[in-house]
């Protein structure tokens, strides 16, 4: 168990809908990263938050947004969903003072868009 | 920009044999880290091993070792005495050690251990 929790584990929804994925980082970790794993694109970085502020952005669509709250949990919002958004979404966390290798992944949320 | 290349989409290995999973990388950064993750069929990402670009010794973690050849820009994962539980997808990843800490992943290698 990495200590990173993600809810829900599975999500099935229809095209055009909006969903929210939730991530709770390990206790004390200030950085949260979101990754998308799809058959087409592989594993790619979406966005990073550090202590409530956006720190880095990757290949995140404009239909997607994220935020990190004062208690450090993060939410990834996906709107106007398309079939191609079906993927496994991972959250990872790390501590600013951690060794460089320590980036812990949550179990992922599997999103299916029908 | 960083790039990771894994050229072996799939591998079949007999149980108890050693296996090498290939990974080459490209980066203009001087300080970076290389990672291997295991993803079993259940989907979670399990950290296996890390190698820093300035580390002189190859990293080892139990049955896992990383064969780091900086001049060739390769970071191959070696699994000794393979077990049935090693069957999974394996991803090589890297990140720079300053500023943006995102991981860049390769396309992965599906390893199947044959009894």
Judged by CB atoms closer than 8 Å, whether chains meet at B107 and A42 is answered as yes
Q: Tell me if chain B has a CB within 8 Å of the CB of A34.
A: no
Please state, in angstroms and as integers, the Cα–Cα distance from residue A45 to each residue in A13, A90, B34, B65, B113, following that order. 23, 9, 16, 26, 30
pLDDT digits (tens, 9 = 90+) for B24-78: 999 988 889 999 999 999 999 999 999 999 988 999 999 999 999 999 999 999 9
SS3 state at A92: strand
pLDDT digits (tens, 9 = 90+) for A34-54: 999 998 889 999 999 999 999
Can you tell me the distance from the alpha carbon of A67 to that of A53, in angstroms, rounded to the nearest whole number? 8
Most B CBs within 10 Å, among A100, A106, A107, A110, to test the B interface: A100
Q: Among A44, A101, A107, whose Cβ lies nearest the Cβ of B50?
A: A101
Q: Looking at residue B84, what is its pLDDT?
A: 97
Say if residues A109 and A23 touch (Cβ distance below 8 Å).
no
Of the candidates A59, A55, A48, A53, the one whose C-alpha atom is nearest the C-alpha of residue A85 is A59
Q: Could you please report the per-residue DSSP string of A47-84?
A: EEEETTEEEEE-S--TTEEEEE-TTS-EEEEE-S--GG
């Amino acid at each position: 168990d990495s200590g990173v929790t993600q809810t829900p584990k599975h999500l099935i929804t229809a095209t055009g809908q909006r969903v929210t994925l939730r991530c709770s980082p390990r206790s004390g970790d200030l950085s949260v990263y979101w990754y998308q794993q799809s058959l087409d694109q592989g594993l790619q970085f979406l966005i990073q938050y550090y202590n409530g502020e956006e720190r880095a952005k990757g290949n995140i669509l404009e239909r997607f947004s994220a935020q990190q709250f004062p208690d450090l949990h993060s939410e990834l919002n996906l709107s106007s969903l398309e079939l191609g958004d079906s993927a496994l979404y991972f959250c990872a966390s790390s501590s600013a003072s951690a060794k460089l290798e320590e980036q812990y992944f949550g179990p992922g949320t599997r999103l299916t868009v029908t | 920009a960083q790039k990771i290349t894994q050229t072996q989409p799939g591998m079949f290995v007999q149980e108890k044999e050693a296996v090498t999973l290939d990974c080459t990388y490209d980066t203009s950064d001087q300080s970076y880290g290389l990672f291997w993750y295991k993803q079993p069929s259940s989907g979670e990402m399990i950290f296996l091993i890390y190698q820093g670009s300035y580390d002189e010794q190859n990293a080892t973690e139990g049955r896992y070792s990383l064969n780091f050849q900086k001049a060739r820009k390769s970071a191959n994962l070696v699994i000794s005495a393979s077990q049935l539980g090693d069957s999974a997808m394996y991803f090589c990843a890297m990140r720079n050690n300053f500023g943006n800490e995102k991981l860049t992943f390769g396309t992965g290698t599906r390893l199947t251990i044959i009894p």
